[in-house]
Amino acid sequence: MRPDPSSDIEARAIDWVIRQRDPAFSDWDGFADWLAEDPVHAKAYDAIASLDADLGAVPPASSPEVDWDEVPARRRVPRRAWLGGAVAAALVAAVSLSTFNLLGDANRIETVAGEHRTVTLPDGSKIEINGASVVTLEEDRPRFARLEQGEAMFHVMHRDDDPFVVEAGSAEIVDLGTAFNVVRRSAQTSIAVSEGVVAYNPRRENVRVVAGQELDAADGAAPKVRNIEPANVGGWRTGLLVYNGTPLTDVADDLRRTAGMDVRVAAEARDVSFRGALIIAQDRARTIADLAALSGTRATRQGSGWVLTR
Amino acid sequence: MGARTGSQRTAFLTKRSMTQARDRTDAAQGIEGVLLANRERILRFLALRGAGDAAEDLFQDLWVRLSARSTGPVADPLAYVMRAANNLMLDRYRSARQSELRDKAWGESAADQKPSAESALISREQLALVEQTIAATGERPARIFRRFRVDGVQQRDIAAEMGVSLSTVEADLRKVYAALAALRRQFDAP
């Protein structure tokens, strides 16, 4: 190893990383003080902590399990390409049984605001439907569902030769092995994927949306894809709504669907974007108070609902 | 934001998800309390960890992360929160770095997903180098490192198990980490 003037700092960083691997480590103030001594310390620590995270890929037994035959000889490791493994979070949904034969038409499932319903299809696929939503099925197309309005979480039994198709507006969402949540607003579709992959409009834009991504598309506009936390996909099902820069009007829309709450957003607050988590509980006033506090707005009771103003 | 009150807050839905939501709410309340009571301390820590002007926003991110997580009872809530803050900053560092590396390596925008098969090959090759480097530090350091980092055994248990002192365990661990840091510098060298 070449002599390195920063090796002393690196040694300290290594000590912190080693100590912090102990689940009982609690000297975070001491660690903060060390970071405060010199900005270089944080950089050295990041490098070592990141290295340590990468070491999670080291296999348990000291066996040379790397099969070189599988590595194409011509492939060179890019010098700068030290890539840590990505962490995938899987989402496990609670199972409930339901039927969908109200209102005569078995193939049209309509929920009122605040009502949640789960539909299990003959192939084992499951659709969890949020309130104020309409899902239609077609008898002669067992691998098809249409989200006319509202929001639903799809858990699809994947078949390579017979993909499951969800239609929302004019958009077609094709499952490639998946759990995903779809919101159909007045002229906009959002798809958030918690497991697997879906293809958005495979015969037009053909955008692949993978677990941990959300696609938003206004009707007629190009879709946008951004990264999200897969564990928060379909949070309406457990009463936990997590946002990261979402227009307040969409949040109000979600509260109406999910909990039957009547929340209006005053014109001057429509541009407010909201970051935070809302817990939907029996005390709805609490949820509104949280929303107002976290978005910097004021909530005023009006009739059976609330109005958010700036 | 005022403190949440009462433990009678319940969700709608089925009985089963009602219970889940209530448990989560209670856990979230405890953590929120810790976050609010230690706001300044956490902000300082985030800033020192490289958050700069974004410390306030990251505090919010941390809040979102911890509220979304369903936790059981936590022995030391402050340490738990500080660790989460530390992990948040590490995740940010790692994802920023990955996009940077990806840009350099592939000359494409960070939004392009690299094929997973490709990254698996890269990590397999690098893994072999990591294993060689660990082995090259000597039999005892290699074994101690493996017990510590791969098997997750605590240092004092490793010391007892191998009949060496705690400071030998510490020294060997430092040695292996330093060797791996040097290996990594070779990849990072301009």
| Structure confidence by residue, pLDDT tens digits, A83-107 | 333 222 222 222 222 333 333 456 8
Return the number of CB contacts < 8 Å for A and B. 218
Residue B87 forms part of a structural domain? yes
- Comparing A46-50, A104-108, A275-279, B136-140, the range with the smallest average pLDDT is A104-108
- Predicted local confidence at residue B115, as pLDDT: 41
Please check whether residue A48 is in contact with residue A55, taking contact to mean a CB–CB distance below 8 angstroms.
no
ipTM over 0.85: no
Residue B127 forms part of a structural domain? yes
- Predicted local confidence at residue B15, as pLDDT: 37
Overall residue count recorded for chain B in this entry: 190
Burial zone of B167 (CB within 10 Å; 0-12 exposed, 13-18 middle, 19+ buried): exposed
> Which residue's structure tokens are 């089925």?
B14
* CB proximity list for A263: less than 8 A, separation 6 or greater: A251, A252, A255, A256, A288, A291, A305, A306, A307, A308
Q: Pick the residue with more confidence: B187 or A115?
A: A115
Q: Which residues of A touch B104 (CB under 8 A)?
A: 78, 80
| CATH architecture assigned to A108-230 | Sandwich (2.60)
Using the beta-carbon criterion (under 8 Å), do A276 and B63 form an inter-chain contact? yes
Task: Give the structural domain span for B149.
Answer: 115-188
pLDDT in tens, B3-46: 444 333 333 333 334 444 444 444 555 788 889 999 999 999 99
∠ CA A68-A71-A74, nearest 5°, is 120
Q: Pick the residue with more confidence: B28 or B174?
A: B174
- Taking CA atoms, B116 is separated from A108, A159, B141, in Å, by 40, 22, 33
- Predicted local confidence at residue B174, as pLDDT: 93
Using the beta-carbon criterion (under 8 Å), do A29 and B127 form an inter-chain contact? no
Number of structural domains found in chain B: 2
Residue B83 forms part of a structural domain? yes
Residue B89 corresponds to which amino acid?
M
Residue B104 forms part of a structural domain? no
Residue that is last in its domain, among B46, B65, B98: B98
On whether both B59 and B129 belong to a single domain, the answer is no
- Predicted local confidence at residue A242, as pLDDT: 85
Q: A196-221 b/e with 16+ CB inside 10 Å = b?
A: bbbbbbbeeeebbbbbbbbbbbeeee
Nearest residue to B58 (alpha-carbon basis) of B70, B68, B76, B45: B45
Nearest residue to A26 (alpha-carbon basis) of B81, B154, B167, B47: B81
Q: Is A228 within 8 Å of chain B by CB?
A: no
**A72, closest residue in chain B (CA to CA):** B121
Q: Is A245 within 8 Å of chain B by CB?
A: no
Residue B106 forms part of a structural domain? no
Tell me the shortest Cα–Cα distance from B17 to chain A, in angstroms: 6
Please name the residues between 128 and 187 in chain B that touch chain A, using a CB distance below 8 Å: 128, 130-131, 134-135, 142, 146, 148-151, 154-155, 170, 173-174, 177-182, 184, 187
Over residues B44-69, the mean pLDDT reads 89
At B146, the pLDDT band (50, 70, 90 cuts) reads: very high
Q: Tell me the longest C-alpha to C-alpha distance in chain B.
A: 60
What CATH number has the domain spanning A239-309?
3.55.50.30
Using the beta-carbon criterion (under 8 Å), do B2 and A293 form an inter-chain contact? yes
What CATH number did the domain enclosing B147 receive? 1.10.10.10
